[in-house]
Amino acid sequence: MSKQGYHHGNLRQALIQAALELIPEQGPTGFTLSEAAKRAGVTPAAVYRHFEGREDLIAECARQGYAIFADVMAHAWADGKPSALAAFSATGRAYLAFARQFPGHYMAMFESGILPNRSPNIAEAAARAQDITYRAASALMAHIPSDRRPPVAMFAAHIRALSHGVVELYARTPTSSPFSPEELLESGIGVYLRGLGLIAQDQ
């Protein structure tokens, strides 16, 4: 591909796409800006028209990832329809689907060292994504007597940790597990919800 210097049609998004391809291949900090520029078909100098450096580029990948993630989770939650429990299960499957379908975004969000508080834009996108889990947890908590109800934030954090663990250990790399990531996540959430009395022991 010939170098296009400063005349690329949409250089910013082309560089983001290049980074999203390189991140799964080399890790979020394993590629250089020169490699991203080469893949985008521009000169390395052209990168600095849009990004201060590699970290700035990865941060934008993370911001876009959080925005996509929030949309995916909101679609799965569907305002708690047809039931809070069914919709909650759908958000777990959506978490796995997002990690598989958007590996570059996922790694930029969770494995690059870029924290949501790096910028207001990233923080806003991350908060919107977390709010879906919080609302789903709140809807389920409403079915538990108040004296046995854990803090909603803790409940949501437990589910995020469980989902993230299944993604990291089983969904993104081949394993010898006899169970699919979906089965592992569903059964793990089931154990948790049974312990809270949200579903019957024989379900």
**Tens of each residue's pLDDT in the chain, 203 residues:** 444 444 445 889 999 999 999 999 999 989 999 999 999 998 888 888 889 889 999 999 999 999 999 999 999 999 999 988 888 889 999 999 999 999 999 999 999 999 999 999 999 999 998 999 999 989 888 888 888 888 999 989 999 999 999 998 887 776 667 888 889 999 998 888 888 877 755 55
Residue 202 falls inside a structural domain: no
Does residue 76 lie in a domain region?
Answer: yes
16 and 103, same structural domain?
A: no
Residues 136 and 91 in one domain: yes
Please tell me the distance from the alpha carbon of residue 184 to that of residue 190, in angstroms, as a whole number: 10
Same-domain status, 152 and 74: yes
Check if the beta carbon of residue 193 is closer than 8 Å to that of residue 143. no
Q: Enter the tokens of residue 137.
A: 């947890």
Global pTM value: 0.86
**Residue 152 belongs to a domain:** yes
Q: What pLDDT, on a 0 to 100 scale, did the predictor assign at position 200?
A: 59
Residue 153 lies in a domain: yes
Q: CATH number for the domain including 126?
A: 1.10.357.10
DSSP 71-113: HHHHHHHGGG-S-HHHHHHHHHHHHHHHHHH-HHHHHHHHSS-
Same domain membership, residue 166 and residue 75:
yes
CATH code, 32: 1.10.10
Position 174 scores a pLDDT of 67
Q: Does some domain include residue 200?
A: no
User: Domain containing 10: what range?
Assistant: 1-51
Alpha helices in the chain, H assignment, sequence order: 11-26, 33-40, 44-47, 54-77, 84-101, 103-110, 120-141, 152-166, 181-195
> From the CB of residue 105, how many other CB atoms can be counted at a distance below 10 Å?
24
**Residue 117 has what DSSP assignment?**
G
pLDDT at 141: 86
Classify residue 66 as exposed, middle or buried by CB count within 10 Å of its CB (0-12, 13-18, 19+): buried
